Chain A
Amino acid sequence: MHYLLSVVDDTANPGPADEPGAVDRFNDQLKQDGYWVFAGGLQTLDTATVVDARSGDTTVTDGPFAETKEYLAGFWVIEAPDLDVALTLAEGGSRACRRKIEVRPFDGIA
């Protein structure tokens, strides 16, 4: 199964800077153990732009789509046999990047 491990940060109470090299080491381990699919860190929240073309007219708005304190700071996509393995990997990811991790299974992956 594929799982999205979302890195959750908080504007009101941001996580501390990563231990230098910790995330790289974690990524290398994921690759070595065959769980790695894809991962990325995201630029800060104020770089977000929302596009809405649902009504026919396109509006472009500065800022993120949800006005919450917690936001997505980055993610891993992994392939793991079950949730227990995904949770164990998330534990390692949380330690490496020193932030909360949300684990969610993919409904489908193209």
Chain B
Amino acid sequence: MSGLDEVVARVHRDEWARVVATIARRFGDLDVAEDATAEAFATAVERWRDDGLPPNPGAWLTTTAGRKALDRVRRESRRDEKQRQALMLGDQLSGPPEPTGAVGDERLRLVFTCAHPALAMESRVALTLRMVGGLTVAEIARAFLVQETAMAQRITRAKAKIRAAGIPWRVPEADDLPTRVAGVLAVLYLVFNEGYLATSADADPVRADLTAEAVRLTRLVRELLPDDGEVAGLLALMLLIEARRGARVSPHGELVTLDQQDRGAWDRDLVAEGHALVRERLASGRPPGRYQLLAAINAVHTDARDARDTDWSQVVALYDQLVRLDPSPVVALNRAVAVGELDGPHVALAQVDALAGSLDGYHAFHAARADLLRRLGRSADARAAYDRAIDLAGNSAESAYLRRRRDELGTAEGDA
């Protein structure tokens, strides 16, 4: 890659969302904003090759994209209202570039618009990746294993609803910020999880591009809402999980569980940053939310030099708090697994079995049960549970791990 290509790629990462956001707000239309921004980048590649990099590439791109958008609106100005808008906007665009002080706010508007509660969750995730993350429709379709046409349709529908229903370009008022932020964080967590443990057997087991994108966007939200505890909590959670990514899949493509991982292969900088955020939240003295508790649990895990040194009583205590906030069966399952380390597999199995009604279709339920049954020496039951877990697991690294555990059981007992 030439030097210029690298610069353009970096500017694309850094500036895409800001340019789209600025144009979208001025023209009130995501399609116009997206096309104009893409055109501006195409022009930039040609012009910068001849003229060199402008002193402020972001401002150059915003101005150029603004002109492109204006041209497009003028071309389509059969409609009176658009004509009026175009004429009105002409004055603003010929002025000096916007001060960079407004930058963060523009991107935040875009994040909140794309993650609006009036849009279906799957549309929010797709739109956030497209408009804020700058991923192509093909990339998003691949990440979520749907047809490109279906993904394009989903994004088009979401944009059309934003336009027709009058979803505003603003950061919500302080009153509804907590609920809106929660939606934004849910979107980012979904993106991260899809990258960390891809749900399909056909995808790479770990999608580093998706986890990196989720971390980058969460950092952005944190930059803009530095005092929000759950934003800090989600960032810490992602960093502490991301730190272990390299140790998590073996060279043979098999999942390596937390207790078996080479802790020396963890990314120390990410661990340190995650721990610092968790400490910052503890020092605030304010009651932690769901992401902060999950981050704290991961901080305890990453604190131990060896899996045997893990402070399980602390982990269980944190899960106790989490169950009070989020009494979902999945949280109860994870708590039971921690209880198994503290009080033994007997106690844990009773708690896990109590969840059978709601979690029978969830592979992690059967995997956890299989492990507890194995530890209790109930090989035949363990084998049946591994079989169920393998049937339900979508991730190829996870299936490989579960198959090996099941087969080890077979050779040890010889009762296959």
Contact = CB atoms under 8 A, between A and B. Distances in A.
Interface of A: 1, 3, 80-84, 86-88, 103-105, 107
A63 to B, nearest CB: 32
B166 A105 contact: yes
A3 B168 CA distance: 14
Contacts of B167: 82-84
A104 to B, nearest CB: 8
Contacts of A87: 118
A84 B164 contact: no
A105 B172 contact: no
Interface string B91-117: 000000000000000000000000010
A84 B167 CA distance: 7
The 8 closest A-B pairs by CB, nearest first: A82-B168, A82-B166, A1-B166, A83-B166, A83-B167, A83-B165, A105-B165, A84-B168
A43 to B, nearest CB: 30
A80 B168 CA distance: 11
A54 to B, nearest CB: 28
B165 A84 contact: no
23 contacts: A3-B166, A80-B166, A81-B166, A81-B168, A82-B166, A82-B168, A82-B170, A83-B116, A83-B118, A83-B165, A83-B166, A83-B167, A84-B167, A84-B168, A84-B170, A84-B172, A84-B176, A86-B166, A87-B118, A88-B176, A104-B165, A105-B166, A107-B164
A109 to B, nearest CB: 13
Contacts of A105: 164-166
Nearest to A85: B168
A37 to B, nearest CB: 15
Contacts of A86: 166
Interface in B154-198: 164-168, 170, 172, 176
A42 B167 CA distance: 29
B79 to A, nearest CB: 13
A81 B116 CA distance: 16
Nearest to A80: B166
Nearest to A2: B166
Contacts of B168: 81-84
Given A81-B166, A84-B168, A88-B176, 12 more contacts: A1-B166, A81-B168, A82-B166, A82-B167, A82-B170, A83-B116, A83-B166, A83-B168, A84-B170, A84-B172, A84-B176, A104-B165
A37 B230 CA distance: 40
A87 B166 CA distance: 11
A103 B118 CA distance: 10
B300 to A, nearest CB: 40
Contacts of A103: 165
Nearest to A84: B168
Contacts of A83: 116, 118, 165-168
A87 B167 CA distance: 10
A49 to B, nearest CB: 32
Nearest to B164: A105
A1 B168 CA distance: 11
Nearest to B167: A83
Nearest to A86: B166
Contacts of A88: 176
A89 to B, nearest CB: 13
A103 B116 CA distance: 15
